[in-house]
Amino acid sequence: MSEKPACSTLKVIPLGGLGEIGLNMMVFEYEDSIVIVDCGLMFPEEEMLGVDIVIPDFSYLLKNREKVTALVITHGHEDHIGAIPFFLREFAVPIYGTALTLALIREKLREHNLLDRTELIQIVARQVVEIGPFGFEFIRVCHSIPDGVGLAIRTPVGVIIHSGDFKIDNTPVDDKRLDIARLGTYGEEGVLALLSDSTNVERPGYTVSEKEVGVTLRNVLREKQGRVIVAVFASNLHRIQQLIDIAREFGRKVLLSGKSMINNVRIARELGYLDFTRDDEISIQDLQYMPDSQVLMLTTGTQGEPMSALSRMAFNDHKKLKVREGDTIILSSRFIPGNERTIQNIINHLCRNGAEVIHEQVKDIHVSGHACQEELKILINVVQPRFFVPIHGEFRHLVKHRQLALSLGMSPANCLLIENGNVMCFGPEEVCTTDRIETGRVFVDGKGVGDVGGLVLRDRRHLSEDGLVIVSLVIDKESHEILSGPDIFSRGFIHEETKPEILYEGQCIIFENIDRQMEEAHELDCALLQEQIRRDLKRFFIRLLDRRPVIYPIVVEI
């Protein structure tokens, strides 16, 4: 990969999804046209206290607003569609996607009151759409949600293949396999660059077929006489279909629990992606009349989300559903890194309620929707790209994927290792890099977008770790007499009733500050007094308790 000052060719710029899991967003720019592929969110990391979701920084697109032409979506997972409502507040462009993907997007836009002002253009696999200087062909892929596509993007400088999220499953539940033949056609024609999903690159071999999970689930349900509750991703419609089929086989009725589960199943049923009749389903009201051996419940909460149906059942907070002895709980998902402790806590509480809990560490009840090493090799060999760019993954995944491409004989100069904000400029025979553009993460907290930054998060961490001390003091403006206080209130620092002597000594320090200022200046400066109180109380608390609470003095003159 050569270094050049600038390139006036095809620009490919990741705004999210490289060096992280989620936040997927890729810009394709040629002259006066920009087309964006995917617009996803990321769920907050542990240190992002109070943050609801994280979305990409749109600064580069805002600076080039007049160029933005369209948004193309590969599939309906949140890390690919979750930021669309925030994007559409700034850009009124059409969105291209498959039927199920657009249905899920439509549901989001309805919640944000954006549906009436947005053009949604439905496409099907192998359809070609011309958008400015680009020709997009949508290529069917197999993933953990139906209707996923990869992209063959015909540009003025050559063909770019964007894999989307994919795996090679030779026995998919819906019989819709990765369109390897179409990818092979492009490989024979000549592909300038392959942008390939790196999520599972650390796993050797091949991804297990989704049907294998169905076999395991069937064996589990065959043995159980009590109620069976399965926590599964609401977007994993293939697994939901298998569970519905198993329920029919063993004479069980299906109860849906959780908002996203109910909504996704409704959408999939309306579009014909699920074979699920009204006779297969029961409501919560029907539950009391059903024998336990005839109940299969599908619920949300695979990652221990606090407000999910499974979490509320585990802690006995659900108004209508209670876990009891004889129930079998199946967590049909993998433990996403960072969620392990929360999930284990849920499992412990479910066990306390008498349930048997089965998860991926006990039985093979989950498979990934992403390609493992051998499948990734197959894609590279079929596409035969001139240049290779690993995308979708943490930095270690990108490094490993590049090494995988090198092991197949690709030139090191043609295997690019880039991160968010790196600008790749492609010509027909070469690629070069330019300066980085502004990228980052925007925090969404409640209705606020971008108003929570590093300083706010630092304060939240400080408050959560060390607590808060508030000092209240009212002084007569003329006589400088104390009218009220000083009162010291502690929250998350010490219990005022168990350690009253500490707060009493704190009050003495405040009196000393007032006396000292009066002796030196013969008047009170409220701003200076507040700063002195903060400084001296901080020293006092560190010396006495080795703690550093947030100290907030309020001194008022009246």
The tens digit of pLDDT for each residue in 376-424 reads 999 999 999 999 999 999 999 999 999 999 999 999 999 999 999 999 9
pLDDT, position 459: 61
Extract the tokens encoding 544. 């006495």
In this structure, what CATH number is given to the domain that contains residue 135? 3.60.15.10
- In the chain, the percentage of residues whose pLDDT exceeds 90 is 59
Mean pLDDT across the chain: 88
Query: Are 499 and 377 contained in the same domain?
Result: no
Distance CA 201, CA 113 (A): 39
Distance CA 382, CA 403 (A): 18
What are the pLDDT digits (tens) for 39-80? Answer: 999 876 666 556 677 889 999 999 999 999 999 999 999 999
The strand order across the sheet containing 281-282 reads 281-282, 253-257, 295-299, 228-231, 328-331, 356-358
Question: Which domain does 289 fall in, by range?
Answer: 210-356
Query: Are 101 and 125 contained in the same domain?
Result: yes
**Among the three residues 331, 356, 381, which one is the final residue of a domain in this structure?**
356
What are the pLDDT digits (tens) for 215-243? Answer: 999 999 998 999 999 999 999 999 999 99
- Is it the case that residue 450 has pLDDT exceeding 70? no
Beta-ladder partners of 256: 298
What are the pLDDT digits (tens) for 469-523? Answer: 888 888 777 776 777 778 888 777 776 666 777 777 877 888 877 777 776 666 6
pLDDT, position 1: 44
What is the band of 5 on the pLDDT scale with cuts at 50, 70, 90? Answer: very low
Query: Are 88 and 167 contained in the same domain?
Result: yes
What are the pLDDT digits (tens) for 329-359? Answer: 999 987 766 667 788 888 898 999 899 999 8
Residue with the bigger pLDDT between 440 and 465: it is 440
| Residues classed as catalytic | 197, 370
Query: Are 270 and 288 contained in the same domain?
Result: yes
Query: Are 274 and 144 contained in the same domain?
Result: no
Query: Are 440 and 474 contained in the same domain?
Result: no
The mean pLDDT value for 186-208 works out to 96
The total number of structural domains in the chain stands at 3
**Among the three residues 390, 419, 449, which one is the final residue of a domain in this structure?**
449
Residue 499 lies in a domain: yes
Query: Are 373 and 252 contained in the same domain?
Result: no
The mean pLDDT value for 99-107 works out to 97
Query: Are 264 and 409 contained in the same domain?
Result: no
- Is it the case that residue 463 has pLDDT exceeding 70? no
In this structure, what CATH number is given to the domain that contains residue 316? 3.40.50.10710
SS3 288: coil
In this structure, what CATH number is given to the domain that contains residue 542? 3.10.20.580
Residue 445 lies in a domain: yes
Distance CA 421, CA 144 (A): 28
Query: Are 47 and 176 contained in the same domain?
Result: yes
What is the band of 132 on the pLDDT scale with cuts at 50, 70, 90? Answer: very high
Query: Are 256 and 112 contained in the same domain?
Result: no
Extract the tokens encoding 46. 């542990």
Distance CA 427, CA 540 (A): 65
DSSP 413: G
- In the chain, the percentage of residues whose pLDDT exceeds 70 is 90
Residue 130's Cβ-side half-sphere holds a number of Cα atoms within 13 Å equal to 3
For residue 412, is the peptide bond before it cis, meaning its omega torsion is within 30 degrees of 0?
Answer: no
Q: Give, in degrees to the nearest 5, the angle at Cα 151 between 86 and 125.
A: 100
What is the band of 2 on the pLDDT scale with cuts at 50, 70, 90? Answer: very low
Residue 263 lies in a domain: yes
Residue 47 lies in a domain: yes
pLDDT, position 309: 81
**Among the three residues 322, 356, 390, which one is the final residue of a domain in this structure?**
356
pLDDT, position 6: 44
Q: Report how far Cα 104 is from the mean position of its chain's Cα atoms.
A: 16
The strand order across the sheet containing 550-557 reads 482-491, 468-475, 550-557
Distance CA 311, CA 368 (A): 23
What are the pLDDT digits (tens) for 529-545? Answer: 788 888 888 888 888 87
Residue 461 lies in a domain: no
Residue with tokens 């295997």: 415
Asked if 486 and 530 touch (Cβ cutoff 8 Å), the reply is: no
- Is it the case that residue 305 has pLDDT exceeding 80? no
Query: Are 340 and 391 contained in the same domain?
Result: no
Query: Are 416 and 517 contained in the same domain?
Result: no
The mean pLDDT value for 460-476 works out to 75
pLDDT, position 4: 43
Residue 32 lies in a domain: yes
Residue 456 lies in a domain: no
pLDDT, position 316: 85
Residue 462 lies in a domain: no
Asked if 22 and 48 touch (Cβ cutoff 8 Å), the reply is: no
